[in-house]
Amino acid sequence: MKIDVLSLFPSMFSGVFGESILKKAQEKGAVQYNVVNFREFADNKHGQVDDYPYGGGAGMVLKPQPIFDAVDSLSGGQENTKKPRVILLCPQGKRFNQEKAEELAKEDHLIFVCGHYEGYDERIREHVVTDEISIGDFVLTGGELGAMVVVDSVVRLLPGVLGNEDSPVLDSFSSGFLEHPHYTRPSDFRGMKVPEELISGNHKLIEEWRERESLKRTYERRPDLLENKELNKRQKKWLEEWKNDRN
Predicted structure pTM score: 0.86
At 166, the pLDDT band (50, 70, 90 cuts) reads low
Stretch among 2-6, 79-83, 153-157, 218-222 having the lowest mean pLDDT: 79-83
**What do you get for the CA distance between the two ends of the chain, in Å?**
51
Q: Nearest-CA neighbor of 146 among 100, 118, 112? A: 112
Helices 203-221 & 233-246 angle (0-180, nearest 10): 50
pLDDT value of position 163: 76
Report the DSSP beta bridge partners of residue 133: 94
Sorted by sequence, the CB contacts under 8 Å of residue 235 that are 6+ apart come out as 211, 215
Flag whether pLDDT at 172 surpasses 60.
no
pLDDT tens digits for range 235-247: 999 999 999 998 7
pLDDT value of position 79: 61
Alpha-carbon dihedral 105, 132, 36, 32, rounded to 10 degrees: 0
53 is catalytic: no
91 is catalytic: yes
| Distance (Å, whole) CA 128 – CA 113 | 10
**Phi/psi at 74 (5° precision):** -75, -25
pLDDT value of position 160: 94
DSSP letter assigned to residue 12: G
pLDDT value of position 30: 98
Flag whether pLDDT at 184 surpasses 70.
yes
Flag whether pLDDT at 226 surpasses 80.
yes
Hey, what domains does the chain have and what are their CATH numbers?
Answer: 2-155 (3.40.1280.10), 175-246 (1.10.1270.20)
118 is catalytic: yes
- Tell me, what amino acid is at 147? A
Per the residue annotation, which of 69, 72, 118, 211 is the catalytic one? 118
Per the residue annotation, which of 69, 171, 179, 197 is the catalytic one? 171
Per the residue annotation, which of 66, 131, 156, 168 is the catalytic one? 156
83 versus 36: the higher-pLDDT residue is 36
- DSSP collapsed to 3 states, 191-223: CEECCHHHHCCCHHHHHHHHHHHHHHHHHHHCH
